Structure 1
Amino acid sequence: MDSYLTVVSGENLSLSQAELESLVKMVDSSARVKWRGTIGIVDASRDPCDIILRRAVLVKECGRIVADGQTIDDSLRVEPEDVVSSNETFCVRCLAPSDYEQKKRMETDAGARVEKWTGARVSLKSPDVRLVLFKLEDRTVLCKSVVSDARLRAIARGSRRKPFFHPSMMNAPLAGVLCNLAQITSNDVVLDPFCGGGGIVCEAAIIGATTVGIDLNWKLVQGAVSNLEQFGGNNSCVVLGDARSLPIDHFDCVVSDPPYGRVSSTRGAQSVDLVRSMLNQAVEMASSGARFCICGAREMNVSQVMNELGLDVVRSVSIRVHRSLTRDIVVARH
């Protein structure tokens, strides 16, 4: 079993940790993650870095730990080719301690040792290899890390950059996180019964899933179709319909952001009643292991509704939108 180092966003630490853990479990169900704030040490029998760097919106960087020891000297006692080759450039970054001057001294000292030891040249602006030193309580680890651009790619797919925009649309980074929490794969059929302008189904389509979006509003349905066309949703469809009468008999995941607030039309129905009715149908047709990820206002008590319908709630994370609105992201299995 190998070890990997990850650095996640601290903006909403619980959500960042949940996203990483969900993706890691897709690769190795027996993997373990130990947290120290925004730093996660992953012990896994299969390398999770590929899926993390491709999909994890809230991960800043990750890589395999190539060495560790009680001191920096110990952590640098590995074969040079395992770290950096002589024809590559590199930089060293230290994630601890918090003291800036001490951290810089550690980086400079480690960089000089690696340069002398491997013959590689230092490049702080555009290195071929990024080496990260992280000091734990009892040891120092050395990681070959890669900075993730998944969040920047998600931001580039932002709601206002799509062909169609509506204020109720979930932004692409958060929609991507929901898809990751639901552990969507390219083989899945993903249902969003309140798809609106298609924020979530677009992110699921990018993963390669077959997506089905449903909405009562014809304008939003047309907008979702336009947005899906931009992101290659060839295996996707959007239906003008009512979530209380699902026009589908099979799915692997339900991922949705039910309507709430003034800008989302519910045609007079209470949001919690809509969600309960939709879930009641979905539970009846769901196969064993089907996943559900619903983001709703706290007042909707989505977790309680899921429990009452016999779903196994495996995770619930809160995100504060503003002073009067907190949303709960609830993940459950059938």
Structure 2
Amino acid sequence: MNNKEFIYTYIRHRDEHDLCRLEMRSFFGFDTSSNVLKSSIAIDPNRSPFMNERLEVLYAGEQLEEITKQVEQLDLGASTFKVVCLNTADLDATKKIGHPERRKIEREIGLRMNGEPDLDQPEMVFGVVTLDGKWYFGKLAISDNIWFHHQQKPHMYSTALSTRVARAVANIAVPHPEGVRAIDPCCGIGTVLVEALSMGINIVGRDINRRVVLGSRKNIAHFGLEGDVTTGPIAEVNDEYDVTIIDMPYNLFTHITADEQLEIIKEARRFTKKVVIVTIDTIDHMIEEAGFHIIDRCVAKKGTFSRQILICE
């Protein structure tokens, strides 16, 4: 039985609110409108473009003094450490703590710990946070915003998904990668592939356009990743996959017809039981006709431009 508890903090733009909540539901089975979430499920904060920190709770108490006493039990050996107070902003209904008070809290806890403090390059980082009148202390993991470094690719399309949306879509499709085989059969220049591969997701790519396949391969290699991207129509996919990601080609740029959109979804139904579709059009009727059912969805916005993210089984 897993008795661990994790506290996640989030940073997201207003337009990303619904997309973030769909990612939460995929990871944890529930969501929250808050910028803080508790779960027994461990997710690396580097995976999500919205997660800021993850605290693996070691100790909890009604008062800060309970934490300062409990940390004396920690044996860090020769490891250096630092303590970070996470209340730098309002966390749900808990108001932020000012800088001087946060530094005081960090010192109080650090002085009671058995180890060598190092504020610059510590070997271990711990966090402390107060939420809803209770205090929590534990191991802290802070997101490195890996997705940010994928924004500048050698090959780019103005219509491609942003790296943040692409990373969230990969997480929504494959929240728990172990044993899961995925495919992006309309991969374009590989925006989703880069994000998925960088998270260790077992995914292959494919596109009917030879030129964009070459661009996708170069983008993947540019970031030191390895992935299989082949050329050909979705109709020639023969293997079976646990999940398929389809960023539906846009009418405005590819002149794809409604019948061709339907055919893509029908072909996906042939080799997968689950598909995550990104579309600028409302295609609910096509999804039903292809034999899928929409089990969850959201709208990802960027200014006045919107995309629908649909989870179908």
- TM-score tier, shorter chain, comes to 0.7 to 0.9
Unpaired runs of 5+ residues, structure 1, are 26-32
The alpha-carbon distance between structure 1 residues 113 and 322, as it changes in their structure 2 partners (threshold 3 A), is closer
Equivalent residue, structure 2, for 1:326: 306
Decide which of 214, 235, 242 is 2:207's aligned counterpart.
Answer: 214
Residue 111 in 1 paired to residue 98 in 2?
no
For the residues of structure 2 that align with 1:301 and 1:225, how far apart are their CA atoms?
Answer: 31
Give secondary structure in 2 for the equivalent of 1:63: strand
The alpha-carbon distance between structure 1 residues 281 and 327, as it changes in their structure 2 partners (threshold 3 A), is same
For the residues of structure 1 that align with 2:223 and 2:232, how far apart are their CA atoms?
Answer: 20
Residue 155 in 1 paired to residue 151 in 2?
no
1:5 Cα deviation from its structure 2 partner: 0.9
Give secondary structure in 2 for the equivalent of 1:174: helix
Alignment of 1:112-127 (within 5 A): 112-118=107-113, 120=115, 124-127=119-122
For the residues of structure 2 that align with 1:83 and 1:308, how far apart are their CA atoms?
Answer: 60
Equivalent residue, structure 2, for 1:13: 17
Q: Which structure would you say has the larger RCO, counting Cα contacts within 8 Å and 6 or more residues apart?
A: 2
Which amino acid letter does the alignment assign opposite residue 214 of structure 2?
A: Q
1:174 Cα deviation from its structure 2 partner: 2.3
For the residues of structure 1 that align with 2:282 and 2:240, how far apart are their CA atoms?
Answer: 26
1:3 Cα deviation from its structure 2 partner: 0.6
Which amino acid letter does the alignment assign opposite residue 314 of structure 1?
A: I
The alpha-carbon distance between structure 1 residues 280 and 143, as it changes in their structure 2 partners (threshold 3 A), is same
1:65 Cα deviation from its structure 2 partner: 0.9
Tell me, yes or no, if the aligned pair for 2:24 and 2:31 is still in contact at 8 Å.
no
The alpha-carbon distance between structure 1 residues 86 and 111, as it changes in their structure 2 partners (threshold 3 A), is farther
Give secondary structure in 1 for the equivalent of 2:161: coil
Give secondary structure in 2 for the equivalent of 1:77: helix
Identity of matched residues, %: 14
Unpaired runs of 5+ residues, structure 2, are none
The alpha-carbon distance between structure 1 residues 119 and 209, as it changes in their structure 2 partners (threshold 3 A), is closer
Alignment of 1:191-270 (within 5 A): 191-206=183-198, 207-215=200-208, 217-231=209-223, 234-241=226-233, 243=234, 245-260=235-250, 262=252, 264-265=253-254, 268-270=255-257
Tell me, yes or no, if the aligned pair for 1:114 and 1:120 is still in contact at 8 Å.
no
Equivalent residue, structure 2, for 1:30: none
Tell me, yes or no, if the aligned pair for 1:246 and 1:278 is still in contact at 8 Å.
no
Residue 63 in 1 paired to residue 58 in 2?
no
Alignment of 1:53-202 (within 5 A): 53-82=45-74, 88-95=80-87, 97-101=94-98, 104-105=100-101, 107-118=102-113, 120=115, 124-149=119-144, 151=145, 153-158=146-151, 160-162=152-154, 164-183=155-174, 185=177, 187-202=179-194
Tell me, yes or no, if the aligned pair for 2:53 and 2:141 is still in contact at 8 Å.
yes
Equivalent residue, structure 2, for 1:294: 277
Decide which of 280, 285, 290 is 2:266's aligned counterpart.
Answer: 280
Tell me, yes or no, if the aligned pair for 2:173 and 2:275 is still in contact at 8 Å.
yes
Q: How many pairs were matched up?
A: 302
For the residues of structure 2 that align with 1:94 and 1:208, how far apart are their CA atoms?
Answer: 30
